Chain A
Amino acid sequence: MAESPTPGEPTPGAPTPGILRAREELAAAELLAVHGLPAPAVAAAVRSALAAADDALVLLGRPAGAAPGTVSLFVRYVVGQRGLDARTGQRLRALVNRGRRVEHVPGAVPASVAAAAVSDAREVLDAVEDWVAASLRVAAERARVVAATATAGNGGPSPSGRPARRRR
Protein backbone atom coordinates (compact mmCIF):
# COMPACT_ATOMS: atom_id res chain seq x y z
CA MET A 1 0.00 0.00 0.00
CA ALA A 2 1.34 3.42 -0.96
CA GLU A 3 2.34 5.68 1.88
CA SER A 4 0.15 8.81 2.08
CA PRO A 5 1.99 12.12 1.76
CA THR A 6 2.75 14.17 4.82
CA PRO A 7 0.21 17.00 5.21
CA GLY A 8 1.60 20.22 3.68
CA GLU A 9 4.14 18.37 1.54
CA PRO A 10 3.75 18.52 -2.25
CA THR A 11 2.54 15.35 -3.90
CA PRO A 12 4.41 14.16 -6.99
CA GLY A 13 2.18 14.46 -10.05
CA ALA A 14 -0.22 17.00 -8.56
CA PRO A 15 0.19 20.76 -9.13
CA THR A 16 1.51 22.53 -6.06
CA PRO A 17 -0.52 25.35 -4.45
CA GLY A 18 1.95 27.88 -5.86
CA ILE A 19 1.50 26.57 -9.38
CA LEU A 20 -2.28 26.56 -8.98
CA ARG A 21 -2.18 30.22 -7.91
CA ALA A 22 0.10 31.03 -10.81
CA ARG A 23 -2.43 29.40 -13.19
CA GLU A 24 -5.23 31.52 -11.72
CA GLU A 25 -3.22 34.70 -12.14
CA LEU A 26 -2.42 33.71 -15.70
CA ALA A 27 -6.11 33.15 -16.44
CA ALA A 28 -6.84 36.59 -14.98
CA ALA A 29 -4.11 38.14 -17.12
CA GLU A 30 -5.60 36.53 -20.24
CA LEU A 31 -9.08 37.83 -19.41
CA LEU A 32 -7.80 41.33 -18.70
CA ALA A 33 -5.85 41.38 -21.96
CA VAL A 34 -8.82 40.15 -23.96
CA HIS A 35 -11.07 42.78 -22.39
CA GLY A 36 -8.79 45.68 -23.31
CA LEU A 37 -7.08 46.23 -19.97
CA PRO A 38 -3.42 45.85 -20.91
CA ALA A 39 -1.81 47.45 -17.84
CA PRO A 40 -3.63 45.23 -15.31
CA ALA A 41 -3.03 42.29 -17.66
CA VAL A 42 0.73 42.90 -17.48
CA ALA A 43 0.54 43.15 -13.68
CA ALA A 44 -1.36 39.85 -13.44
CA ALA A 45 1.08 38.17 -15.82
CA VAL A 46 3.97 39.30 -13.62
CA ARG A 47 2.20 37.97 -10.51
CA SER A 48 1.65 34.65 -12.28
CA ALA A 49 5.29 34.20 -13.22
CA LEU A 50 6.52 35.32 -9.79
CA ALA A 51 4.14 32.88 -8.07
CA ALA A 52 5.61 30.06 -10.14
CA ALA A 53 9.18 31.20 -9.43
CA ASP A 54 8.42 31.48 -5.71
CA ASP A 55 7.07 27.94 -5.80
CA ALA A 56 10.37 26.65 -7.18
CA LEU A 57 12.29 28.57 -4.50
CA VAL A 58 10.09 27.19 -1.74
CA LEU A 59 10.82 23.69 -3.03
CA LEU A 60 14.52 24.47 -2.65
CA GLY A 61 13.94 25.86 0.82
CA ARG A 62 15.00 29.36 -0.27
CA PRO A 63 11.93 31.58 -0.09
CA ALA A 64 12.55 35.09 -1.42
CA GLY A 65 12.35 38.19 0.74
CA ALA A 66 12.47 41.88 -0.06
CA ALA A 67 16.13 41.66 -0.97
CA PRO A 68 17.30 39.60 -2.64
CA GLY A 69 13.98 39.31 -4.40
CA THR A 70 12.40 36.46 -6.29
CA VAL A 71 14.12 37.08 -9.62
CA SER A 72 17.61 37.27 -8.10
CA LEU A 73 17.17 34.06 -6.13
CA PHE A 74 15.49 32.27 -9.02
CA VAL A 75 18.40 33.17 -11.30
CA ARG A 76 20.99 32.10 -8.72
CA TYR A 77 19.48 28.86 -7.48
CA VAL A 78 16.97 27.52 -9.97
CA VAL A 79 18.74 28.59 -13.16
CA GLY A 80 22.34 28.85 -11.95
CA GLN A 81 22.54 25.84 -9.68
CA ARG A 82 19.66 23.55 -10.59
CA GLY A 83 19.90 23.76 -14.32
CA LEU A 84 16.58 25.24 -15.43
CA ASP A 85 16.85 26.68 -18.95
CA ALA A 86 18.35 30.18 -18.74
CA ARG A 87 15.70 31.46 -21.16
CA THR A 88 13.14 31.01 -18.39
CA GLY A 89 15.18 33.27 -16.13
CA GLN A 90 15.57 35.76 -18.93
CA ARG A 91 11.81 35.81 -19.58
CA LEU A 92 11.08 36.26 -15.90
CA ARG A 93 13.44 39.23 -15.62
CA ALA A 94 12.04 40.83 -18.77
CA LEU A 95 8.49 40.34 -17.55
CA VAL A 96 9.20 41.93 -14.17
CA ASN A 97 10.99 44.79 -15.95
CA ARG A 98 7.88 45.42 -18.09
CA GLY A 99 5.64 45.30 -15.04
CA ARG A 100 7.79 47.80 -13.13
CA ARG A 101 7.91 50.09 -16.13
CA VAL A 102 4.12 50.09 -16.23
CA GLU A 103 4.08 51.00 -12.52
CA HIS A 104 6.84 53.58 -12.57
CA VAL A 105 6.18 55.41 -15.82
CA PRO A 106 2.45 55.83 -16.33
CA GLY A 107 1.28 55.91 -19.92
CA ALA A 108 -0.58 53.91 -22.52
CA VAL A 109 0.29 50.24 -22.62
CA PRO A 110 -0.22 48.70 -26.07
CA ALA A 111 -2.29 45.53 -26.34
CA SER A 112 0.73 43.83 -27.92
CA VAL A 113 2.74 44.40 -24.72
CA ALA A 114 0.02 42.72 -22.67
CA ALA A 115 -0.13 39.82 -25.12
CA ALA A 116 3.65 39.40 -24.93
CA ALA A 117 3.54 39.52 -21.14
CA VAL A 118 0.86 36.83 -21.02
CA SER A 119 2.84 34.68 -23.43
CA ASP A 120 6.06 35.09 -21.41
CA ALA A 121 4.26 34.33 -18.16
CA ARG A 122 2.84 31.15 -19.68
CA GLU A 123 6.30 30.07 -20.82
CA VAL A 124 7.75 30.69 -17.37
CA LEU A 125 4.89 28.91 -15.66
CA ASP A 126 5.03 25.86 -17.93
CA ALA A 127 8.80 25.56 -17.55
CA VAL A 128 8.68 25.92 -13.77
CA GLU A 129 5.76 23.51 -13.45
CA ASP A 130 7.66 20.86 -15.43
CA TRP A 131 10.79 21.50 -13.35
CA VAL A 132 8.89 21.30 -10.06
CA ALA A 133 7.14 18.09 -11.13
CA ALA A 134 10.41 16.51 -12.24
CA SER A 135 12.11 17.58 -9.01
CA LEU A 136 9.34 16.08 -6.89
CA ARG A 137 9.49 12.82 -8.86
CA VAL A 138 13.25 12.61 -8.34
CA ALA A 139 12.91 13.41 -4.64
CA ALA A 140 10.16 10.79 -4.21
CA GLU A 141 12.19 8.17 -6.06
CA ARG A 142 15.24 8.97 -3.96
CA ALA A 143 13.20 8.69 -0.77
CA ARG A 144 11.84 5.34 -1.95
CA VAL A 145 15.33 4.00 -2.66
CA VAL A 146 16.67 5.23 0.67
CA ALA A 147 13.71 3.72 2.52
CA ALA A 148 14.23 0.41 0.74
CA THR A 149 17.93 0.49 1.59
CA ALA A 150 17.19 1.26 5.23
CA THR A 151 14.68 -1.58 5.37
CA ALA A 152 17.35 -3.89 4.04
CA GLY A 153 19.50 -2.79 6.96
CA ASN A 154 22.16 -1.08 4.92
CA GLY A 155 21.54 2.44 6.20
CA GLY A 156 22.32 5.28 3.79
CA PRO A 157 21.90 8.98 3.45
CA SER A 158 18.63 10.59 4.47
CA PRO A 159 16.56 11.99 1.61
CA SER A 160 16.87 15.74 1.29
CA GLY A 161 13.65 16.10 -0.70
CA ARG A 162 15.50 18.44 -3.04
CA PRO A 163 16.37 17.98 -6.69
CA ALA A 164 19.89 17.00 -7.64
CA ARG A 165 22.43 19.78 -7.93
CA ARG A 166 23.74 20.30 -11.44
CA ARG A 167 27.44 19.73 -11.83
CA ARG A 168 29.24 22.21 -14.05
Chain B
Amino acid sequence: MLDPDAVDLGQLRAALDDHTAGTTWWIDPATGEIATRLDAAPGGQDPRAAGWVRIPTTETHESYRDMAEFVAGVQHRRAADLLERAISGRGAFRRFKDTLFEFPELRDRWFRFRDARGHRRALRWLADAKLVTAEAAERAAAAHPDPDQGEQDLPEAVAADLALLFRERLERVLVIEAWAGPEDPGEADLELLVVLADLPSPWADLDRMDTLLWRHTERTGLTVLAYPVTAADLATPSSPVLLRAGTGALQVT
Protein backbone atom coordinates (compact mmCIF):
# COMPACT_ATOMS: atom_id res chain seq x y z
CA MET B 1 0.00 0.00 0.00
CA LEU B 2 1.12 3.53 -0.81
CA ASP B 3 1.47 6.34 1.66
CA PRO B 4 -0.90 9.13 0.44
CA ASP B 5 1.97 11.56 0.94
CA ALA B 6 3.94 9.69 -1.73
CA VAL B 7 1.35 10.64 -4.35
CA ASP B 8 1.31 14.05 -6.00
CA LEU B 9 -2.35 14.80 -5.36
CA GLY B 10 -2.27 17.85 -7.61
CA GLN B 11 -1.14 15.70 -10.51
CA LEU B 12 -3.62 12.97 -9.66
CA ARG B 13 -6.39 15.58 -9.64
CA ALA B 14 -5.27 16.81 -13.04
CA ALA B 15 -5.31 13.23 -14.30
CA LEU B 16 -8.79 12.60 -12.96
CA ASP B 17 -10.05 15.84 -14.53
CA ASP B 18 -8.40 15.31 -17.92
CA HIS B 19 -11.02 14.45 -20.51
CA THR B 20 -8.68 14.82 -23.48
CA ALA B 21 -9.49 12.21 -26.09
CA GLY B 22 -6.68 9.76 -26.84
CA THR B 23 -4.87 10.41 -23.58
CA THR B 24 -4.75 8.08 -20.62
CA TRP B 25 -3.18 8.50 -17.21
CA TRP B 26 -1.50 5.81 -15.14
CA ILE B 27 -0.14 5.42 -11.65
CA ASP B 28 2.64 3.14 -10.46
CA PRO B 29 1.26 1.34 -7.37
CA ALA B 30 4.76 0.75 -6.09
CA THR B 31 6.02 4.33 -6.11
CA GLY B 32 2.96 6.56 -6.62
CA GLU B 33 4.49 7.99 -9.79
CA ILE B 34 1.91 9.30 -12.27
CA ALA B 35 2.42 9.36 -16.01
CA THR B 36 0.39 10.09 -19.11
CA ARG B 37 0.33 8.08 -22.29
CA LEU B 38 -0.89 8.94 -25.73
CA ASP B 39 -2.98 6.04 -27.00
CA ALA B 40 -1.85 6.65 -30.57
CA ALA B 41 1.85 6.69 -29.72
CA PRO B 42 3.63 3.98 -31.65
CA GLY B 43 5.59 1.32 -29.80
CA GLY B 44 6.24 1.41 -26.10
CA GLN B 45 5.19 -1.01 -23.44
CA ASP B 46 1.61 -1.29 -22.28
CA PRO B 47 1.66 0.27 -18.79
CA ARG B 48 -0.74 -2.42 -17.62
CA ALA B 49 1.87 -5.04 -18.38
CA ALA B 50 4.30 -3.18 -16.14
CA GLY B 51 1.78 -3.27 -13.31
CA TRP B 52 0.62 0.35 -13.62
CA VAL B 53 -3.01 1.19 -12.82
CA ARG B 54 -5.18 3.24 -15.16
CA ILE B 55 -6.56 6.47 -13.65
CA PRO B 56 -10.18 7.01 -14.72
CA THR B 57 -11.65 10.41 -15.48
CA THR B 58 -14.07 12.09 -13.10
CA GLU B 59 -17.71 11.76 -14.11
CA THR B 60 -19.28 15.02 -15.25
CA HIS B 61 -22.07 14.69 -12.73
CA GLU B 62 -19.52 14.78 -9.89
CA SER B 63 -18.06 18.04 -11.18
CA TYR B 64 -21.57 19.39 -11.59
CA ARG B 65 -22.41 18.43 -8.02
CA ASP B 66 -19.38 20.38 -6.76
CA MET B 67 -20.57 23.41 -8.67
CA ALA B 68 -24.17 23.11 -7.47
CA GLU B 69 -23.12 22.67 -3.85
CA PHE B 70 -20.82 25.67 -4.09
CA VAL B 71 -23.65 27.78 -5.50
CA ALA B 72 -26.00 26.59 -2.75
CA GLY B 73 -23.58 28.03 -0.17
CA VAL B 74 -23.20 31.47 -1.77
CA GLN B 75 -24.82 34.11 0.43
CA HIS B 76 -24.55 37.08 -1.91
CA ARG B 77 -28.08 37.12 -3.23
CA ARG B 78 -27.44 38.62 -6.65
CA ALA B 79 -24.45 36.36 -7.24
CA ALA B 80 -26.39 33.33 -6.05
CA ASP B 81 -29.31 34.14 -8.36
CA LEU B 82 -27.03 34.55 -11.37
CA LEU B 83 -25.03 31.42 -10.59
CA GLU B 84 -28.16 29.35 -10.06
CA ARG B 85 -29.39 30.47 -13.45
CA ALA B 86 -25.96 29.80 -14.99
CA ILE B 87 -25.85 26.16 -13.93
CA SER B 88 -29.29 25.31 -15.26
CA GLY B 89 -29.44 23.51 -18.59
CA ARG B 90 -26.87 22.89 -21.29
CA GLY B 91 -23.59 24.82 -21.17
CA ALA B 92 -23.72 25.03 -17.38
CA PHE B 93 -19.95 24.79 -16.86
CA ARG B 94 -19.11 27.55 -19.32
CA ARG B 95 -21.84 29.88 -18.04
CA PHE B 96 -20.80 29.21 -14.45
CA LYS B 97 -17.21 30.16 -15.28
CA ASP B 98 -18.32 33.29 -17.14
CA THR B 99 -20.60 34.38 -14.31
CA LEU B 100 -17.86 33.93 -11.72
CA PHE B 101 -15.75 36.50 -13.54
CA GLU B 102 -18.15 39.15 -12.30
CA PHE B 103 -17.45 38.22 -8.69
CA PRO B 104 -13.67 38.00 -8.10
CA GLU B 105 -14.01 37.20 -4.40
CA LEU B 106 -16.36 34.32 -5.15
CA ARG B 107 -14.11 33.15 -7.95
CA ASP B 108 -11.23 32.84 -5.56
CA ARG B 109 -13.43 30.98 -3.12
CA TRP B 110 -14.62 28.64 -5.88
CA PHE B 111 -11.01 27.71 -6.73
CA ARG B 112 -10.33 26.86 -3.11
CA PHE B 113 -13.58 24.88 -2.88
CA ARG B 114 -12.85 23.00 -6.11
CA ASP B 115 -9.29 22.23 -4.96
CA ALA B 116 -10.52 20.81 -1.66
CA ARG B 117 -13.14 18.68 -3.39
CA GLY B 118 -10.61 17.52 -5.99
CA HIS B 119 -8.06 16.49 -3.38
CA ARG B 120 -10.65 14.53 -1.44
CA ARG B 121 -11.90 12.87 -4.63
CA ALA B 122 -8.34 11.88 -5.54
CA LEU B 123 -7.81 10.35 -2.10
CA ARG B 124 -11.13 8.53 -2.33
CA TRP B 125 -10.11 7.07 -5.68
CA LEU B 126 -6.76 5.93 -4.27
CA ALA B 127 -8.65 4.11 -1.52
CA ASP B 128 -11.21 2.64 -3.95
CA ALA B 129 -8.35 1.39 -6.16
CA LYS B 130 -6.80 -0.18 -3.06
CA LEU B 131 -3.62 1.83 -3.57
CA VAL B 132 -3.87 3.34 -0.07
CA THR B 133 -5.80 2.14 2.94
CA ALA B 134 -9.21 3.63 3.59
CA GLU B 135 -8.01 4.89 6.98
CA ALA B 136 -4.98 6.64 5.51
CA ALA B 137 -7.16 8.22 2.80
CA GLU B 138 -9.65 9.41 5.36
CA ARG B 139 -6.91 10.89 7.54
CA ALA B 140 -5.40 12.71 4.58
CA ALA B 141 -8.83 13.91 3.38
CA ALA B 142 -9.44 15.54 6.75
CA ALA B 143 -6.65 17.96 5.87
CA HIS B 144 -8.68 19.20 2.89
CA PRO B 145 -12.07 20.32 4.23
CA ASP B 146 -14.34 22.56 2.16
CA PRO B 147 -13.22 26.14 2.76
CA ASP B 148 -15.55 27.79 5.22
CA GLN B 149 -18.23 29.36 3.07
CA GLY B 150 -19.76 30.42 6.35
CA GLU B 151 -21.66 33.64 6.40
CA GLN B 152 -18.57 35.79 6.12
CA ASP B 153 -19.96 37.67 3.17
CA LEU B 154 -23.42 38.08 4.67
CA PRO B 155 -22.94 41.73 5.76
CA GLU B 156 -21.55 42.59 2.32
CA ALA B 157 -24.39 40.80 0.59
CA VAL B 158 -27.03 42.61 2.65
CA ALA B 159 -25.22 45.92 2.17
CA ALA B 160 -25.14 45.41 -1.60
CA ASP B 161 -28.89 44.86 -1.62
CA LEU B 162 -29.44 47.90 0.59
CA ALA B 163 -27.40 49.97 -1.85
CA LEU B 164 -29.70 48.87 -4.65
CA LEU B 165 -32.76 49.65 -2.55
CA PHE B 166 -31.81 53.10 -1.29
CA ARG B 167 -29.42 54.17 -4.08
CA GLU B 168 -28.05 57.66 -3.47
CA ARG B 169 -29.82 57.98 -0.14
CA LEU B 170 -27.53 55.33 1.35
CA GLU B 171 -24.41 56.86 2.91
CA ARG B 172 -22.99 53.75 4.54
CA VAL B 173 -23.83 50.51 6.27
CA LEU B 174 -22.26 49.74 9.63
CA VAL B 175 -22.05 46.35 11.29
CA ILE B 176 -22.61 46.64 15.04
CA GLU B 177 -22.67 44.50 18.17
CA ALA B 178 -21.64 40.81 17.97
CA TRP B 179 -20.59 40.88 14.29
CA ALA B 180 -18.40 43.95 14.84
CA GLY B 181 -16.44 42.40 17.71
CA PRO B 182 -13.04 40.74 17.53
CA GLU B 183 -14.49 37.29 18.16
CA ASP B 184 -16.30 35.00 15.76
CA PRO B 185 -19.98 36.04 15.87
CA GLY B 186 -21.02 32.42 15.44
CA GLU B 187 -24.77 32.34 15.01
CA ALA B 188 -25.51 35.68 16.62
CA ASP B 189 -28.00 38.02 14.96
CA LEU B 190 -26.46 40.27 12.33
CA GLU B 191 -27.27 43.88 13.25
CA LEU B 192 -26.69 46.76 10.87
CA LEU B 193 -27.00 50.52 11.08
CA VAL B 194 -28.20 51.83 7.75
CA VAL B 195 -27.02 55.42 7.55
CA LEU B 196 -29.26 57.38 5.19
CA ALA B 197 -28.82 60.92 3.90
CA ASP B 198 -32.31 61.81 5.05
CA LEU B 199 -34.84 60.02 7.15
CA PRO B 200 -38.34 61.44 6.90
CA SER B 201 -39.81 58.26 8.38
CA PRO B 202 -37.53 55.57 9.81
CA TRP B 203 -40.55 53.29 10.15
CA ALA B 204 -41.44 53.56 6.48
CA ASP B 205 -37.82 52.80 5.59
CA LEU B 206 -37.86 49.85 7.96
CA ASP B 207 -40.90 48.53 6.11
CA ARG B 208 -39.12 49.05 2.78
CA MET B 209 -36.23 46.88 3.97
CA ASP B 210 -38.46 44.12 5.30
CA THR B 211 -38.57 41.81 2.29
CA LEU B 212 -34.84 42.16 1.67
CA LEU B 213 -33.93 41.44 5.29
CA TRP B 214 -36.34 38.53 5.43
CA ARG B 215 -34.83 36.94 2.33
CA HIS B 216 -31.38 36.97 3.88
CA THR B 217 -32.75 35.67 7.16
CA GLU B 218 -34.66 32.84 5.51
CA ARG B 219 -31.75 31.95 3.28
CA THR B 220 -29.08 31.84 5.98
CA GLY B 221 -31.08 30.91 9.06
CA LEU B 222 -29.43 33.87 10.75
CA THR B 223 -31.55 36.79 11.90
CA VAL B 224 -30.66 39.94 9.98
CA LEU B 225 -31.77 43.19 11.62
CA ALA B 226 -31.21 46.72 10.36
CA TYR B 227 -31.89 50.11 11.85
CA PRO B 228 -32.19 53.18 9.63
CA VAL B 229 -30.41 56.19 11.12
CA THR B 230 -28.84 59.45 9.98
CA ALA B 231 -25.28 60.67 10.44
CA ALA B 232 -26.70 63.10 13.00
CA ASP B 233 -27.97 60.17 15.10
CA LEU B 234 -24.42 58.82 15.20
CA ALA B 235 -22.84 62.22 15.88
CA THR B 236 -24.94 62.66 19.01
CA PRO B 237 -25.47 59.12 20.26
CA SER B 238 -28.47 58.79 22.53
CA SER B 239 -28.25 55.09 23.40
CA PRO B 240 -25.51 52.65 24.42
CA VAL B 241 -25.70 50.90 21.06
CA LEU B 242 -25.21 54.14 19.10
CA LEU B 243 -22.41 55.14 21.45
CA ARG B 244 -20.65 51.81 20.92
CA ALA B 245 -21.19 52.12 17.18
CA GLY B 246 -19.20 55.36 17.25
CA THR B 247 -16.04 53.46 18.14
CA GLY B 248 -16.63 49.80 17.41
CA ALA B 249 -18.71 49.54 14.25
CA LEU B 250 -17.38 48.03 11.04
CA GLN B 251 -18.21 49.78 7.81
CA VAL B 252 -19.23 47.50 4.96
CA THR B 253 -20.10 50.13 2.36
Contacts and interface: CB of A to CB of B under 8 A. Distances in A.
Given A75-B218, A104-B242, A106-B238, A67 B227 contact: no
Contact of B225 (A75, A86, A97, A112): A97
Residue in B178, B189, B213 with the greatest tally of chain A CB atoms within 10 Å: B189
B218 A97 contact: no
> Size range of the interface on A?
20 to 34
Contacts of A110: 203
Contacts of A62: none
B8 interface: no
A28 interface: no
A100 B233 CA distance: 16
Contacts of A112: 203
Interface string B183-209: 001111101000000000011001100
B20 interface: no
A68 to B, nearest CB: 4
> Size range of the interface on B?
20 to 34
A68 B222 contact: yes
Contacts of B185: 67
A77 B217 CA distance: 13
Interface string B158-179: 0000000000000000000010
Interface string A78-119: 011000001001100110111011011111001011000000
Contact of B223 (A75, A79, A98): A75
13 contacts: A67-B188, A68-B187, A71-B189, A75-B223, A89-B218, A94-B207, A97-B226, A100-B227, A105-B202, A105-B233, A105-B238, A105-B241, A105-B242
